[in-house]
Amino acid sequence: MGRDFRLILQQIKYQNRIFWRTPVGAFFTLVFPLMFLLLFTAIFGNDEIEELGVTTAQFYAPALAVFGAASATYTNLTITTAIARDLGILKKVRGTPLPPWIYIVGRVGSAVWLALLSGVLMMSVGVIFFGVEIIGRTFLAALISFLLGAGAFAALGLMLAALVSSGDAAPAVANATLLPIAFISDVFIVNANPPAWIEFAGNLFPLKHFVAAFGDAFNPGLTGSGFSWSAGAGEYAIGAHLAVMAAWGVGGAILALRFFTWEPRGGENSRRRRSRVSGN
């Protein structure tokens, strides 16, 4: 067991290293969300937004931290896992004594770690440059929400990787699912009175719950530590939000387990690659 634990840590480090050596992924996970924060505070100024009762940065920093976390887990895992499968790396790992679950935990652990890093970076920039206030009373609930949300989106990323046909298709599929949902999940646009169906759709998907569970922790107007099931008026509560995220995470994990393959996907794709390698 001690040996397996060391292997897990090592696999996480290995995946982290690959992440840092791939500038595109690092940019989208770490820099891209920050660009939105700069953009929004530049466009709207950093005064109090009337509908929300907090400053622009106080609202957007946590919302974009959640968006960064979703990129680090959902988008990144989908793309890197599908590419690793195409390259035959998953197959090769499967031929070693490394238990498959440790390899997967390494990937998920790395993604969650990078999500955390991206979140810390976002909140630090918010605090240092835009006067974002961190509230001690809600800190633990915020941290738990963040980790659970990142874990759920990691499971969904593995699910999508299992479902997409190739690494080429992965970025398009990941972005085409995440971005529209982000627009109805209070990440980029806040509309106090959206059409009912938008409200409904937003509540259906896990991202809005992620934004609420984490973001409300930074709303000084709310009371409570967050540890209650569902919010009364003016209260911060994560219970119901976490339940929705957990349900999505478990569903994603089940589908991932069901459809995950270690072999490159068959058909023309793998045949072309085979003949390229054998040089004819």
Partner 1 sequence: MNAIAVSGLEKFYGDLAAVGGIDLTVAEGEVFALLGPNGAGKSTTVEILEGHRRRTRGSVEVLGFDPETGGRSFRERIGIVLQQTALEPELEVAEILATYAAIYPRSLPVDEVVEIVGLQEKRRARVKTLSGGQQRRLELALGIIGDPDVIFLDEPTTGFDPSARRQAWSLIDNLRQLGKTILLTTHYMDEAQNLADRVAVIAGGVIVAEGTPADIGGRAEGEATIRFRVGRDVAGEDLPPVARAGLDESDGQVTLETSTPTEALNEITSWAMERGLELEGLTVERPTLEDIYLRLTGGGGDG
Binding site for partner 1 (CB under 8 A): 6-7, 10-11, 14, 17-18, 21-22, 84, 87-89, 91-92, 94-99, 263-264, 273-274, 277-280
Nearer to partner 1 by C-beta: 88 or 239? 88
Distances in Å between the Cα of 189 and the Cα atoms of 36, 69, 142, 185, 192 are 12, 18, 21, 8, 10
User: Cβ 6 to partner 1, closest distance in Å?
Assistant: 7
Provide the residue type at 38 as one letter. Answer: L
To the nearest whole angstrom, how small is the minimum distance from the Cβ of residue 98 to partner 1? 5
Minimum distance from residue 88 beta carbon to partner 1 (Å): 3
Residue with Cβ nearer partner 1 (88 or 251): 88
How many other β-carbons are positioned within 10 Å of the β-carbon of residue 44?
14
* Residue at token pair 């984490």: 214
- Nearer CB in complex with partner 1: 88/171: 88
Residue 258 vs 274, nearer CB to partner 1: 274
- Residue whose CB is less far from partner 1, 137 or 273: 273
Closest CA to 153 of 217, 215, 209: 209
Nearest approach, Cβ of 84 to partner 1 (angstroms)? Answer: 8
* Residues 56 and 45: beta-carbon distance below 8 Å: yes
Q: In terms of CB distance, is 137 or 265 closer to partner 1?
A: 265
Rounded to the nearest whole angstrom, what is the least distance from the CB of residue 262 to partner 1 in the complex?
9
> Nearer Cβ to partner 1, position 84 or 212?
84
**Closest Cα partner for 217 from 192, 185, 250, 241?**
241
Q: Taking the complex as a whole, how short is the minimal distance between the CB of residue 92 and partner 1, in angstroms?
A: 5
CB of 162 to partner 1, least distance (A): 18
**245 near 149, Cβ under 8 Å?**
yes
Side chain identity, residue 145: S
